[in-house]
Each structure stands twice: as C-alpha cells, then as structure tokens.
C-alpha cells in the first residue's frame, strides 16, 4: 500500500480467456484490509538549569512522523518531584498525578517547572511521546535533566536593646534562625568597643 496508508482497498480482478478472436471474462473483487500501525514520533529534549524557588523553562519538542492526519500525539512527563509546579505559557497549572503529567503538543511551548520549595540538585525528568493510530501506539522516550542551583534564603534576625551596670556582664538579646533548614547559619557582631569582653553562655 502507499506509505502510511491504512484502511480497505477493493481491488478489481478480471480474468480473460481468448480463443481465436473470441474472448470471455470473469471478474471479481479482492478486498485488502490494511491495519493501522503507528509511526514513532520525534522527540527533542534540551537539558536546562535555573535557581531554586523559581520557574525553570523546559525545552521539549515533539512531532508526528506520519502527517496524513491519521495519528494523534501526546506527551507524558514523569519523575516530577512532589511539591513541584508545572505551568503552561498562559499561566495554567498542569495537573500532576503520582509524579506524572500528560500534555498535548500545543501545551509544550512555554512550559516551565518550579521545583519544590528550597530544593536544589538534579531532577531527571522522564519524557515520553506517544503516537496513536487506531488501536496501535508507538513511543519515543528520553530524559530531560533539570539542574536546580542552590540559593541562600535570608535568615530571621531579632535583636532587642540591652542595658546593665558598668563593670558587669550585660546579656545581649540576639535571636537568629534559618528559614531553610538545609543551610548553615553564622552570626557576626561588629563595632565592639576596644577592651570589651564577649563571653559565651
């Protein structure tokens, strides 16, 4: 059959016998059923990176190789960490179920991923493009690596004025805390008068 054709072909078959100048024919129809077979779609993925707590653009491009209109294309993104947000170009949030999201080709342009709060590291997204022709499917799969760069969050700091008698230890009211438990905290005190003594509890 022609490339990518599926369906019914009704062939007309004619048998002809010849005797001298006389001929006789017998005709019939031969039906050929061509079952649809899906062609694997194209899938182009580009690794990407961005800062934690920000939307990171995803570059996913997929297309059908059979363009006669008989097939449909869908794209599935898996291994999405819990707490992530997948957003389309128009701001619509894509539903994520069990770490997986399904999209149409038109939804891929402008797609972005916001990782879970305060997450940094690598996210290997699994991406599968599926073409469907009738009851048959064909898939093309790949991995899109998203590198999330750590960004320090400003710590909390509360200070309260203190007072006391000269030549005595005066308690300093300093309360500092992390807002991201994955970070380390240090506190510096400056403008200490010469001769003063700073003592730990």
The residue extents of the domains of the chain are: 42-149
Q: Is the dihedral of CA 112, 118, 123, 125 positive or negative?
A: negative
Eight-class DSSP state of 92: P
Residue 72: name the closest of 93, 103, 108, 34 by CA.
Answer: 103
Three-state SS at 139: strand
10-residue mean pLDDT series, the chain (201 residues): 81 92 93 86 97 97 89 96 97 97 96 95 98 92 97 91 92 89 88 91 81
CA-angle at 123, arms to 150 and 114, nearest 5° = 65
Q: What is the CATH number of domain 42-149?
A: 2.60.40.10
Q: What is the pTM of this model?
A: 0.72
Residue 168 buriedness (CB in 10 A; 0-12 / 13-18 / 19+): exposed
Token pair listed for 142: 């790949």
CA distance 15 to 84: 69
pLDDT tens digits, residue range 56-108?
999 999 999 988 888 999 999 999 999 999 999 999 999 999 999 999 999 99
The residue assigned the tokens 């024919």 is: 25
């Amino acid at each position: 059959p022609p490339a990518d054709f599926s369906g019914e072909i009704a062939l007309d078959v004619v048998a002809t016998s010849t005797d001298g100048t006389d001929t006789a024919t017998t005709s019939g129809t031969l039906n050929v059923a061509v079952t649809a077979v899906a062609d694997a779609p194209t899938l182009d993925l580009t690794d990407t990176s961005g800062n934690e707590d920000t939307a990171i653009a995803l570059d996913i491009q997929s297309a059908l190789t059979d363009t006669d209109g008989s097939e449909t294309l869908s794209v599935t993104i898996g291994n999405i960490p819990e707490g992530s947000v997948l957003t389309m170009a128009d701001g619509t949030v894509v539903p994520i179920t069990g770490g997986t999201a399904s999209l149409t080709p038109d939804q891929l342009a402008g797609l972005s991923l916001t990782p879970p709060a305060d997450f940094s590291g690598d996210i290997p997204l699994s991406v599968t493009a599926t073409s469907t022709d009738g009851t048959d499917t064909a898939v093309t799969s790949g991995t899109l690596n998203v590198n999330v760069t750590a960004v320090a969050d400003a710590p909390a700091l509360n200070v309260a004025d203190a007072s006391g008698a000269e030549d005595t230890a005066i308690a300093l009211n300093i309360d500092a805390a992390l807002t991201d438990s994955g970070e380390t905290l240090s506190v510096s005190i400056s403008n200490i008068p010469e001769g003063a003594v700073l003592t730990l509890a």
